[in-house]
Amino acid sequence: MSQTLPRTARLEARIAPDALGMVRRAAELQGRSVSDFVVEAAREAAVKAIEDAQILRLSMADQRIFMDAVINPPPLAPALERAIARHPKVIAASR
């Protein structure tokens, strides 16, 4: 993905010499600067980390269990039924 916004922030990091050598070689193989290579690699890692945190992946068996619970929900617990009945009164009283 090409960078279209102006770069105004700076990022600094310490890196082991052998790791820097690998990064330089990888950037060279892609015809990019080390800075461009590192920025894009960090962006891709950030996107993946965010997706991993926000996307719930279920096995087929878990998907079936989830859908069964949505389609055929269990009966409400008595305490939840009482809370639902009490809710309009509590809201009206707080106004």
Cβ atoms of 39 and 3 within 8 Å: the answer is yes
* DSSP annotation of 40: H
Output DSSP code: residue 17.
H
Please tell me the predicted confidence (pLDDT) of residue 84.
Answer: 96
Gap between the Cα atoms of 95 and 86, Å rounded: 15
How much is the pLDDT for 95? 83
- Band (3; pLDDT cuts 50, 70, 90): low
> pLDDT, tens digit, for every residue of 9-53?
998 999 999 999 999 999 999 999 999 999 999 999 999 999 999
What's residue 54's pLDDT? 94
CA distance 37 to 29: 10
Which pairs count as long-range contacts for 58-62, CB under 8 Å and 24+ apart, including other chains?
Answer: none
Q: Cα(9)–Cα(7) distance, rounded to whole angstroms?
A: 6
Whole-structure pTM value:
0.58
pLDDT in tens, 45-86: 999 999 999 998 999 999 999 999 999 999 999 999 999 999
